[in-house]
Amino acid sequence: MSPRLSELHPYPFQKLRQLFAGLAAPAGLGHINLSIGEPKHPTPEFIKDALVANFAGLSAYPATQGSDDLRSSISDWIAQRYGITAPNPASEVLPVNGSREALFAFAQAVINTDVPYKPVVLSPNPFYQIYEGAALLAGAEPWYVNCTAETAFQPDWDSVPEDVWARTQLVYVCSPGNPTGAVAKLADWERLFALSDRYGFVIASDECYSEIYFGNDKPLGGLEAAAKLGRSNERLVMFSSLSKRSNVPGLRSGFVAGDAKILEQFLLYRTYHGCAMSPTVQAASAAAWRDEAHVQDNREQYTAKFQAVTTKLASVLDVSLPDAAFYLWAKVPGGDDLAFAKRLFTEAHITVLPGSYLAREAHGVNPGAGYIRIALVAPLAECIEGAERIVALLRS
């Protein structure tokens, strides 16, 4: 077996099961799970219908590059959503089996270990665990850029030493961020682009939460930022997914778009990787990318939950409405996120994810410590009840 497997950390939910082992929940109180970022809104009927109408696709091997129709639907959506020139569907768009799979595979294709130094992959901290695992299994060194309240939960790029930048081959960006919901501003992108121009690293922009926002304040995307700054997509790719946008996490459908030269090589990798998307899923995905009505309805459901819950929780926790996404990043009283998560489970039968499980000790601090991630994915009434239980517990 690869010795690199031993470098992987337990996944946060494995740690959570271990944390709760042997604990008893209060009798007679139903469980409210606010820990897992899994969309729970119903899948739109028209997407199900598109799947059924295209079952004939199961009889054919799929092309790794995907169908012309799917790539065109994605290209059109990018142009409409971000107000930029549509990417070339033939060379600048590549369908993938969900952003998680692609974010991992991308590092395996990008990282070059045939160099006289240890390659570095930069990641925000806290972070989506796939970034770290992808770096380790690609033979690179993960380097964590802390995101704290003092930096508006954006990575502090200026804290990265010169010698680390010199070894950096890939930078993961997550905007809107998991778990904080923070959105990178144009100035943040401008700084990162300048660093990429100087050191030559590739930027992987994870934007899977981009369609969950409040009002008309659409999160800025990486390709959009490049266009606003009058630059090309060189060394820049974005990752997006239908999972959160369209409530189809089981469909495993997303895309990568951006630098044509990089995508040409990534397509070559994926051809050998054997990860082509089913033609049936491709047809349903194209239908989903072409419809915005269900996305607006989805946003309205999340907005209703955030409006109902955030104010309640803010009366007992240090928490506020995020820029986007469906998480609340709450600072806990006392500063011990593990103890607080255990207390919520044993006294209120609520499960949340301790923030320290989503980050690493880096530069003398774990920036997730003292926080919990609350995923508002359950139905409205359940989210409200969960908030009320937390308020009652902390006021008792």
How do residues 224-239 score in pLDDT, each as one tens digit? 999 999 999 999 999 9
Mean pLDDT rounded to a whole number for the chain: 97
Q: Helix H segments across the chain?
A: 12-20, 45-53, 68-82, 99-110, 129-137, 162-167, 186-199, 222-228, 242-246, 260-273, 279-289, 293-314, 337-348, 380-395
Q: What local confidence, expressed as pLDDT, does residue 384 receive? A: 98
pLDDT reading at 288 higher than 90: yes
Residue range 104-154, pLDDT digits in tens? 999 999 999 999 999 999 999 999 999 999 999 999 999 999 999 999 999
Long-range CB pairs of 17-21 (<8 Å, 24+ gap) are 19/338, 19/341, 19/342, 19/354, 20/342, 20/345, 20/351
3-state secondary structure of 173: strand
Domains observed in the chain: 3-42+294-395 (3.90.1150.10), 57-291 (3.40.640.10)
Q: In angstroms, how far is the first alpha carbon of the chain from the final one?
A: 52
Average pLDDT over residues 291-296: 98
CA angle 270/240/101 to nearest 5° reads: 40
Percent of the chain beyond pLDDT 70? 100
Q: Is the pLDDT of residue 387 over 90?
A: yes
pLDDT tens digits along 36-82: 999 999 999 999 999 999 999 999 999 999 999 999 999 999 999 99
Per-residue pLDDT at 322: 97
Q: Is the pLDDT of residue 350 over 90?
A: yes
**What average pLDDT score do residues 302-322 get?**
97
Residue 245 has pLDDT above 90, yes or no: yes
SS3 188: helix
pLDDT in tens, 188-223: 999 999 999 999 999 999 999 999 999 999 999 999
The single-letter code of the amino acid at 91 is S
Distance, in Å, from the CA atom of 266 to the CA atom of 111, rounded to the nearest integer, reads 12
- Max intra-chain CA distance, the chain: 61
pLDDT at 396 over 90: no
Cβ-based burial of 214 (10 A; exposed 0-12, middle 13-18, buried ≥19): middle
